[in-house]
Amino acid sequence: MDDTDYTVDKPDRIAGILKDLDHKLTVVSVRVDTDGPLYTSALVRLDPAAKELFLDELTPPRAHQQVQAGMDLRVFAALRGVAVRFGTHVTRIEQEQKGALYVCTYPETLYYLQRRETFRVHIPMAQRPQIELHAKAWKDPVIGEVADLSAQGMCIELSTTLLDALEDQANLAFENLLLPDVSERLSGDLRLANRRRSTRDGFEFAGFEIVGMTQWMERQTNIALLHYQREARRRSMD
């Protein structure tokens, strides 16, 4: 089944979309193999004159070791809450002080995806930010911990008792979410998407979609994703 919403193949339109994505280290996901796992990277910068885009080295390090000049990559990004996919070709790999950069060609075709493919960053337990949740089914506000974060939502560990009080796809409000490298506390609306077991007795991981994602909110989330990506890389090198 074709999961694309529509295709963009005009060079000037593709260049415009890439420019919209270029917000100083926008977090993206990359597949090295067509059916392989998604690895984390970032769109570092564009060279419109040369029609080149620069991707940060993949994490974890074992993924970076797979990348060679001459190979093709599949890149997934989020533009105002909508997933975007395109293929690109690695022409060369440059070394900079902070690591390697993959110099890639502008894509010939770009796809907006109907089915959102998310790129998720796991947050170590010691670094999990707290979030304040409000639901009609709860008498009082609830404080939870964000266990992982993506461009479209988050996973929060909550007690099974609290989750059982919610209806499927229940709407909640959140506030006082302070993410790393983000100067303001975030607030907004969530929709319950799924539940899965936690290793802690009496708790579950609940997946929430951010409702009404704004470009500003997406930018703040990407800043935090990049921070967690860098921390994961640092830990892997220790």
Per-residue 3-state assignment (H helix, E strand, C coil) for 95-150: EECCEEEEEEECCCCEEEECCCCCCEEECCHHHCCEEEEECCCCCCCEEEEEEEEE
Question: What distance in Å separates the CA atoms of residue 238 and residue 233, rounded to the nearest whole number?
Answer: 9
Q: Quick one: CA dihedral 127, 133, 137, 140, positive or negative?
A: positive
Domain boundaries in the chain? 4-113, 120-236
Name the CATH code of domain 120-236 (choices 2.40.10.220, 3.20.20.105, 3.40.50.620, 3.40.47.10). Answer: 2.40.10.220
- List, for residues 129-186, the tens digit of each pLDDT value: 999 999 999 999 999 999 999 878 999 999 999 999 999 999 999 999 999 888 889 9
Cis peptide before 60 (omega within 30 of 0): yes
- List, for residues 212-222, the tens digit of each pLDDT value: 888 778 778 87
CATH topology of domain 4-113: Pnp Oxidase; Chain A (2.30.110)
| 46 three-class SS | strand
Q: Are both 4-113 and 120-236 of the same fold?
A: no
Mean pLDDT, residues 71-86: 81
Given a cut of 60, is residue 1 above it in pLDDT?
Answer: no
The predicted pLDDT at position 83 comes to 67
